[in-house]
């Protein structure tokens, strides 16, 4: 599903590469934790997968498509197969929950009929039935993140990228979000989650890829956050 071969990313403003000769393979349906300290290259990794940026060296493949050679106008198509969730939710504050989710479908030209059917379904799945007409600031942090997940998942992406989705949430709420991501993973969606939350990593026992100064320092199936913790 995701394949990196000797990927290096150097930003012009920094002498040290953000990613340094990274190679890995993530299969369809896997759940992967991406860990490492701040500045270890996690965000760069996610940006490259979305083709928000191009690698300096090496090749990246997502769903058998090589990102390096992909032309600009094909990028939107790529992103329709991927969902994104962020620490800061990134909801539209002047739109209701349902409108926020529908927005993702409207801008890729889904018919109104489909939108009316799919949005309530996905809101029910994330546990927000009955809150469709609320505005984001009337919701708790956990609920807002559920809206963001609903928006990321409503188009049934092949891959869900989550950049510290529980970073702003208390442990209990985080637990709920993790259950939701697990549920999404069980539908066959590959989930890649960058995180600092060792409780979550330790309790889930999924594949862990640790980045250190832009290099993969550990790649362990059913891993934990840190050795000797």
Partner 1 sequence: MRVNFVLSEVATGLRRNLTMTVAMILTTGISLALMGTGLVIANMISDMRAIYYDKVQVSIYLTDDVTDQQRDAIAAQLDASPEVKSYLYESKQEAYQRFTEQFSQQPALVENTDPNALPESFRVELVNPERYSVIAAEFPNGQNGVDQVRDEGDFLDRLFSLLNGARNATIAVAVVQALAALLLISNTIQLAAFNRRNETNIMRLVGASRWYTQLPFILEAALAGFLGAVLATVGLVLTKVLFIDRTLAGPIRAGIIPPVDWGVIATISPIIAAAGVGLAAIAAYVTLRLYVRL
**Least distance in Å: CB of 185 to partner 1?**
20
> SS3 of 186, please?
helix
Q: Which of residues 176-195 bind partner 1 (CB under 8 A)?
A: none
**Least distance in Å: CB of 62 to partner 1?**
13
Q: Which of residues 4-33 bind partner 1 (CB under 8 A)?
A: none
**Least distance in Å: CB of 78 to partner 1?**
7
Q: Which of residues 106-125 bind partner 1 (CB under 8 A)?
A: 106-109
* Residue placing its CB nearer to partner 1 in the complex, 76 or 130: 76
Q: Using an 8 Å Cβ cutoff, are 8 and 32 in contact?
A: no
**Least distance in Å: CB of 112 to partner 1?**
8
* Residue placing its CB nearer to partner 1 in the complex, 37 or 74: 74
Task: Round to whole Å and give the CA distance between 102 and 20.
Answer: 39
Q: How big is the site for partner 1, counted in residues (CB under 8 A)? A: 23
Q: Using an 8 Å Cβ cutoff, are 128 and 97 in contact?
A: yes
54 binds partner 1 (CB under 8 A): no
**Least distance in Å: CB of 217 to partner 1?**
29
Pattern of binders to partner 1 over 69-108, x per CB under 8 A?
---xx-xxxxxxxx-x-----x-xx---------xx-xxx
- DSSP structure string for 89-114: ----TTS-HHHHHHHHHHTTT--HHH
Do the strands 57-62 and 2-9 form a parallel or antiparallel pair, or are they unpaired?
Answer: antiparallel
Q: What residues are paired with 219 via a beta bridge? A: 209
Length, in residues, of the chain: 229
Crossing angle for the helix pair 141-153 and 97-106, to the nearest 10 degrees: 20
Backbone dihedral angles phi then psi of residue 82, each to the nearest 5 degrees: -130, 140
Binding site for partner 1 (CB under 8 A): 50, 72-73, 75-82, 84, 90, 92-93, 103-104, 106-109, 151, 155
């Amino acid at each position: 599903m995701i394949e990196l071969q000797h990927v290096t990313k150097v930003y012009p403003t920094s002498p040290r590469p953000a990613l340094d000769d990274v190679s890995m393979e993530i299969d369809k349906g896997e759940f992967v934790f991406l860990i490492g300290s701040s500045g270890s290259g996690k965000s760069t990794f996610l940006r490259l997968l979305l083709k928000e940026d191009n690698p300096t060296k090496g090749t990246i493949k997502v769903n058998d498509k090589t990102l390096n050679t992909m032309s600009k106008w094909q990028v939107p198509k790529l992103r329709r197969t991927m969902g994104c969730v962020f620490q800061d939710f990134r909801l539209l504050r002047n739109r209701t929950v349902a409108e926020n989710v529908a927005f993702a479908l409207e801008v890729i030209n889904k018919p109104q009929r489909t939108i009316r059917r799919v949005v309530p379904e996905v809101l029910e799945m994330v546990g927000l039935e009955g809150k469709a007409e609320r505005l984001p600031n009337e919701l708790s942090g956990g609920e807002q993140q559920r809206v963001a997940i609903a928006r990321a998942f409503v188009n049934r992406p092949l891959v869900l990228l989550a950049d510290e989705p529980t970073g702003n949430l208390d442990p209990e709420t985080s637990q709920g979000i993790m259950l939701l991501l697990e549920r999404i993973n069980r539908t066959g969606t590959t989930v890649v989650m960058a995180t600092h939350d060792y409780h979550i990593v330790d309790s889930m026992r999924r594949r862990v890829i640790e980045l250190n100064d832009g290099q993969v320092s550990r790649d362990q199936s059913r891993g934990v956050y840190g050795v000797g913790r």
